[in-house]
Structure 1
Amino acid sequence: MKTTDTSQSLRLDKQLIAQSFRASAATYEENATVQRQISRQLVTCVQNLKSLHSARILEIGCCTGILTELLVGQLTINTLYLNDIVEEFCTTTRERVASRVVHVESLPGDIEKCVLPEGLDMIISSATFQWMADLPALLARMHQALRADGYLVFSIFGPGTMGEIRELTGRGLSYHTKEDLSRMLREQFRIISLTSETRQVFFPTVKEVLRHIRQTGVGGLDRTQWLPGKFKEFSRQYRSRFATDSGFPVSYASTFVVAEKI
């Protein structure tokens, strides 16, 4: 087993990402406890913003609609655009909230290739932007899509996310730091807040750790084949390095950004 000294950043394969999340559709909500907590925190951020009633909002990476449902429960939204790389998620999420929004429109596909709506009051996204191949380019396009003084609100997983797995396998995403994000944003946005925190989820066995990753789709780029011998050694090292009285941890490091267009 390799360690982070020789770790590799996984190459972004959007088709593989979509396949992974599509495969987790039936199990995502039950297992995405961290993602639900992050969504609640984002909605708390939104509640403090001005001029967001009867708003035009784009959500990027709506998935099964956890954030969407929380958002429509707090805001009066006139037009809501729902994006996800998995088209079925846009459809099911639209149906989930349609009765509480005047107009809901699906915008399926890779957001880096989609034509964005114009004159948006807010763009919001939870735990999605780590999957972007060129985040600065997307930020520039989102800046253009927002109205004057429009808001960009998002969370993004950062360095340390699933660090236990990366330490043992030497493989993981290349995550943006807070400093990276600040540099990307500051020429086009006024940063209202930029904070980071780490959460851990604990599981009773190492096998449950891998099941969690599979059932939430977050391991969407890792093609590792867990043959019995390989899993046995991985499990041994996980127990040796990371076991706690609470179980076996999986870490999620999140950065939360609230910014206003300038």
Structure 2
Amino acid sequence: MSITKQRIAQQFTQASQSYDKQAKVQQQLYQPLLDLLRPYQQHFSHILEIGCGSGGFSAYLRQQLTADQWTFNDLCPQNLPLLQQKIEKTDRTFFCFGDAENIAFPHHYQLITAASSLQWFNDIPQFLQRCAALLDPQGYLLFNVFTPQNLTEIRQLTGIGLNYPSLNQWHQWLSKQFDLIAEQQLQIPLYFDHPIAVLKHLKQTGVNATSTGKGWSKQKYQNFIQQYQQQFSHLQGQVRLTYTPLLFLARKKSNQ
């Protein structure tokens, strides 16, 4: 499913106040991402974070890494007040709002990182090429995305979901400009008391940009609840929703 950037911005702006509370999986990925990077480098001349959102990963980066300069990018300028609550503004800190696939970034970077955001991009190969152009020689790209099995419960019942690239596809894309240094694939199940809570969770994290549940008739809504309980119930009466993240650390090739 292709989602417009305007719609993505609208959904994440609406979810901005609830995102930090609901985005448990995204927050669980902060440490594993940094664990991939830690053996190689912890201080950088300039770090760019793509799709920083409300600043959860941004604040974590500032605690775990050091840099001479920081740039934080997001699609939604409405997130600035939330970012300013988490990130102290200094003369070494820059905020850059707009679509990272086409806005002009004014610097070069030693590390570009993106947590749970690249799955919304329209042309990932082109963006990876752009990252390579923005990186210093031997610069690092650290990010996570999700596998085609992500949120499989929703896809099985509704047929709705993003078109997540496969692991092999990521390998192919990255190999053109980057050497793959490390990767990790995880499976993180969440459990909810009721399917309605699943839909609420998706809405409050902005993931509902795929419109799960919107415009449904009462009968379709009831069928969804019944089928979800029948197919994805847990032993304790809860229902499951499964995230399948992919984490990558890549380094710009010396010939780029």
TM-score by length of 1: 0.91
- Match in the other structure for 2:118: 129
- Match in the other structure for 2:157: 168
Conserved? CA contact 2:3–2:209, under 8 Å? no
Alignment partners' CA distance in 1, 2:177 and 2:158: 38
- Match in the other structure for 2:47: 57
Root-mean-square deviation (CA), in Å? 1.5
The alpha-carbon deviation at position 74 of structure 1 amounts to 1.3
Q: Which moves more between the two structures, 39-48 or 121-130?
A: 39-48
Instruction: Name the SS of the counterpart of 2:102 in structure 1.
Output: coil
Residue 73 in 1 paired to residue 63 in 2?
yes
Alignment partners' CA distance in 2, 1:190 and 1:219: 34
The alpha-carbon deviation at position 195 of structure 1 amounts to 2.1
Match of 2:5 among 3, 11, 14: 14
The alpha-carbon deviation at position 116 of structure 1 amounts to 2.5
Conserved? CA contact 1:62–1:84, under 8 Å? yes
Alignment partners' CA distance in 2, 1:203 and 1:174: 25
Alignment partners' CA distance in 1, 2:10 and 2:130: 26
- Match in the other structure for 1:48: 39
- Match in the other structure for 2:226: 236
Show CA shifts across 1:77-112 (max 9, x none): 22111111111224531442126x651111111111
Match of 1:29 among 17, 20, 36: 20
The alpha-carbon deviation at position 54 of structure 1 amounts to 4.8
- Match in the other structure for 2:194: 205
Alignment partners' CA distance in 2, 1:79 and 1:94: 16
- Match in the other structure for 2:96: 107
Conserved? CA contact 1:80–1:104, under 8 Å? yes
4+ runs deviating over 4 angstroms: none
- Match in the other structure for 1:151: 140
**Equivalent residue letter for 1:111:** A
Conserved? CA contact 1:82–1:94, under 8 Å? no
Conserved? CA contact 1:191–1:259, under 8 Å? yes
Q: Which moves more between the two structures, 33-42 or 112-121?
A: 112-121
Alignment partners' CA distance in 2, 1:245 and 1:86: 40
The alpha-carbon deviation at position 136 of structure 1 amounts to 0.2
The alpha-carbon deviation at position 225 of structure 1 amounts to 1.7
Conserved? CA contact 2:49–2:71, under 8 Å? yes
Alignment partners' CA distance in 2, 1:91 and 1:108: 13
Conserved? CA contact 2:44–2:110, under 8 Å? no
Residue 225 in 1 paired to residue 211 in 2?
no
Percent identity, aligned pairs only, is 29
Instruction: Name the SS of the counterpart of 1:220 in structure 2.
Output: helix
TM-score by length of 2: 0.93
Conserved? CA contact 1:20–1:217, under 8 Å? yes
Residues matched between the structures, number? 251
Residue 96 in 1 paired to residue 75 in 2?
no
Matches within 5 A, 1:170-185: 170-185=159-174
Alignment partners' CA distance in 1, 2:177 and 2:155: 33
